[in-house]
Structure 1
Amino acid sequence: MAKPQVGIQLYTLRDQTENDFLGTIKKVAEIGYSVVEFAGYFGTPAKELKKVLDDTGLKAPSAHIGLNWEDPSKRESELAAQIEYAQEIGLSYIVTPYAPLPENPTMADVDQFVSVIEKAAQQVTAAGLKYGYHNHAFEFKQVEGKAVIDHLLERVPADLLFAEFDLGWVHMGGQKPVDYINKYAGRVPLAHFKDFGDGRSDTEIGRGVVDFDSVLAVSEQAGILYYIVEQEQFEGSSLDSAAISLEFFKQRGII
């Protein structure tokens, strides 16, 4: 099996990308990452973005694409436009990064959540791409004795929906990341590496409390293809933090 490749979710560098999107992608390559995952394109024409990816040698397997939860009548057409762009730049995976569940979800909320995700999954899959969902902590709330994320993954077939488990949020949801990787082995092509330090503040990979090493021990067997770094809060430069996180993987011989 091929060794997983290390990438970065560009939301991590949003303070940079909003000012110089293409230049930031070049800096990611200079730092030593081999993969990027998008979170918006800042109006960049697909051909221009594809050229930068080709010039830097970066792989771009995936993008986080939000669904229109406020106006369902626009959801399908907006997703169709995103699918077309994804195809132009050569993506393989489209990931929904978030769903607005209430503080205390009911089974009716779960049913609605599953229905929306399944319909999006059908649309993306029909276009020849693969579709996934990225969790936060709230999807681990129990509804009728089962975590919301398990309701979703059990009810939407694996050929329509994969899991992009965010290992940090799995931890914050009260679960062991390795348990969820093992439970859904073969269905997790992408995994988010997010580390947490004090409270709910995240930090560079390896500087917090999340147990990544147990995941690394089973990741190839579980079919993970990409490790995607994500961080939202910084003491200094987001680019410096990205470089620090990359060291975690270098120290373990992954890069």
Structure 2
Amino acid sequence: MIRIASLLILSVFITLVGQAQPFGKLLPKMPGMVSYTMRDSFGKDVPGTLDKVKAWGITDIEFSSLFGKTATELRALLDERGMHCSSYGVSYDAIDQKPDSILQNAKALGVKFIRIGSIPHKSAATLEMMQKAAEVFNRFGKQAHDKGFMFCYHNHGFEFQPYENGTLFDYLVKQTNPDYVGYEMDVTWTFLPGQDPAALLTKYPKRFRLIHLKDVAKDVEHSDKGGMPNEKSVVLGTGQIDWPAVLKAARKSSIEHFYIEDESKAVEQQVPKSLAYLKSL
């Protein structure tokens, strides 16, 4: 009887440990995915693509497109599979010019976050560009906050132009209301312009709420252009990013959702490897 009781206690202990540590040590929770990772597949077959993603164990998706569905239709497909959309990606012009439509879709999707991927630009970032963006972000951020959402801006590289004792990204952070405006770090578009992603997370621990986990091939040179050939988006842990440092800093920040973003054309081979790498850390 004592042996049986001991085995039962051990079984319960192992179960509890497994529940507390279901994925990995540095990233305890299974990461989500940016829909852009599976953009080609989603464009052809939304239900089938959701099934592929779910088979990897991923249930949290940031949708940057509705892929021909209404927000209500997409929500139903997610609900049927026990999946959810935590962040809805839209355009700068959309939050500036048609906020009501965006807020309606966000409600239908059941998201907490609404984000945009970049500020329209045809040149390097300027102070005037950031001043205008700060005004748009604060205005829409207040509208989103009043409806129960959090607005986030996803950096795209060009924002790191030098300004005073920092960069124009620093200026943007300081000029936006933390109650209404958060940030989504794209690790690659932070690293390639010459910034240290872990240090930036540490500098603004309460401002970053979301993060894109994307690695870059070792032969890619530093640039603030926010773009690279698809094949240079590589399996996490095989490129230039110091992921242990980034994840340790992220764990101490206000980031709620971690999303894998793979821009390559080999995502179905690379994503499982990236998941295995994250789990091993």
TM-score for the superposition, normalised by structure 1: 0.88
State which of 241, 257, 261 in structure 2 corresponds to 1:230: 261
State which of 94, 97, 120 in structure 2 corresponds to 1:76: 97
Partner of residue 6, structure 1: 31
User: Runs of 5+ in structure 2 lacking a partner?
Assistant: 1-19, 22-27, 221-227
Distance in 1 of aligned mates of 2:71 and 2:124: 41
Distance in 2 of aligned mates of 1:93 and 1:114: 18
**In the TM superposition, what are the counterparts of 1:1-255 in structure 2 within 5 Å?**
3-68=28-93, 75-77=96-98, 79-197=99-217, 198-199=219-220, 200=228, 201-234=232-265, 237-252=266-281
Describe the SS at the equivalent of 2:208. coil
Give the drift of 1:46. 3.0
Change (3 A) 1:105 1:250: closer
Distance in 2 of aligned mates of 1:134 and 1:95: 7
Distance in 2 of aligned mates of 1:239 and 1:61: 22
Change (3 A) 1:109 1:186: closer
Give the drift of 1:25. 1.5
Partner of residue 10, structure 2: none
Change (3 A) 1:67 1:106: closer
Distance in 2 of aligned mates of 1:139 and 1:149: 5
Q: Contact conserved, 1:204 with 1:245, CA < 8 A, in 2?
A: yes
* 1:209-249 residue CA offsets vs partner (Å, 9 max, x unmatched): 11111122232221322211112133xx3222222221122
The aligned amino acid for 2:277 is F
Q: Contact conserved, 1:4 with 1:226, CA < 8 A, in 2?
A: no
Distance in 2 of aligned mates of 1:215 and 1:106: 28
The aligned amino acid for 2:127 is M
Q: Contact conserved, 1:204 with 1:244, CA < 8 A, in 2?
A: yes
The aligned amino acid for 1:14 is R
Moved over 6 A (4+): none
Higher-Rg structure is 2
Distance in 1 of aligned mates of 2:135 and 2:121: 13
Give the drift of 1:102. 4.3
Q: Contact conserved, 1:96 with 1:133, CA < 8 A, in 2?
A: yes
Q: Contact conserved, 2:125 with 2:158, CA < 8 A, in 1?
A: no
Distance in 2 of aligned mates of 1:31 and 1:56: 13
Q: Contact conserved, 2:152 with 2:209, CA < 8 A, in 1?
A: no
Distance in 2 of aligned mates of 1:196 and 1:57: 32
Describe the SS at the equivalent of 1:18. helix
Change (3 A) 1:107 1:144: farther
Distance in 1 of aligned mates of 2:208 and 2:111: 16
TM-score for the superposition, normalised by structure 2: 0.80
Q: Percent identity?
A: 27
Paired residue total = 245
The aligned amino acid for 1:249 is L
The aligned amino acid for 1:133 is Y
User: Runs of 5+ in structure 1 lacking a partner?
Assistant: none
